[in-house]
Structure formats: structure tokens, C-alpha cells
Amino acid sequence: MKKWTVQCGFAAYYANTVTVEADTLAEALERAIVTANESDGWKPFDDCGPTFVDAVAEGDDADPWREFASSLPVPPRFSERGEPVAVTVTVSGGTVQQVEIEGGRAIVHVRDYDTEGAAPGIPDLHIDADGDTYALADWSNFSLPDETAESPCPTPENAKGETNGTASHPDR
């Protein structure tokens, strides 16, 4: 029987509720992440996420983090993200008949490039970056807010506080 060195982990949740002023939702969320990461108001929650595998290497003295030289791929069902959402699009006769979403919520946009003979200027037709025309159907099982926030990239002036859209505790 082989020996394996496996690093397991779990998400320990921390929260820091902050108040910011901003003109837009995106600006408020960006400022909130920076403000939260710069403050010491983080408090642990009682819950934690399920145990997952961070890294694995064969052998009882292996270091799966040593320049990733011995790290083996972790199958998705053992990873922090878990199994990916599976989306099945059924097309028949040039028309989407059915979309099945298994494993969670997903954004599903079906682009149908079979638009030959369609009248130009139809509002449901779009043009992609290559100039090709397509019809777009949204079969998602949830919707995003109208405006999504993106945190700014780190700058030398404030590299600690900015997190590119993720709320990470500064001490972790």
C-alpha cells in the first residue's frame, strides 16, 4: 500500500462589518473591502466550511508545496470549490429545446450562430468580437444584480488593503 501526504483544510469564516460612503454600489463594495482589510474589526464566526484537500503528494515525507514539484492534481470533488456545475444545452432543429443545470446555480447563455436569413437590425441579434451575428438566449437559473463590483488591483500605495474582489482577512 502506498503512503500519501495530504494537506487538508477548511474555511474558517471571519466577518468585519464596515460602513462606507460612495456614489455607486460598485464603489461602495470596493471601498468596503479596502476598509475592512485595513481595520482590526474582524470577528470569527462559529461555523466553518467542509474539509477539503489543499494539496497532495505521494510518499510519507513528501512536501506537496515544494515548488509544486511533487503536488498531484486534486479531483474537483475533494477541492474547496467542489464539483463544477454541469450545464447541458439541448438543441434540435436550430432551436434550444432544453437546458439542464445540475449541481448548483449557473449563468447559461446560449449563442446561436444559425442566423442566416434573419432580418438585419432585429434587437435579439448580437455581433461578437469577430463580427459574426448570433442570437442570445439566457437560460440561467438565477440572475446577477444589474451592476457587479470589481475591486481595484493592488497599488503600491495600498497593497495590503486591496484584494481584487475577495474579502480576505489580512492576518491569514
Model confidence over 132-154: pLDDT tens digits?
888 888 888 876 555 444 433 33
Per-residue cell: 13: 469564516
Sheet holding 125-127, edge to edge: 109-112, 133-138, 125-127
Which pLDDT score, from 0 to 100, does residue 147 have?
44
Q: Cα 95 to the chain's mean position, in Å?
A: 29
Which pLDDT score, from 0 to 100, does residue 154 have?
35
* pTM for this entry: 0.47
Maximum Cα–Cα distance across the chain: 67
Provide the pLDDT confidence category of residue 14 given band limits of 50, 70 and 90.
confident
Q: What is the pLDDT of residues 32-90, one digit of tens each?
A: 999 999 999 898 887 778 888 888 888 888 888 876 656 788 888 898 888 888 888 87
DSSP string, the chain: ---EEEEEE-PEEEE-------SSHHHHHHHHHHHHHHSS--EEEEEE---EEEEEEESTT--TTSTTSSPPPPPGGGSSS-SPPEEEEEEETTEEEEEEEESS----EEEE---TTPPTT-TTEEE-TTS-EEEEEE--SS---SS---PPPP-GGGTTT--TT----TT-
Which pLDDT score, from 0 to 100, does residue 70 have?
61
Per-residue cell: 171: 492576518
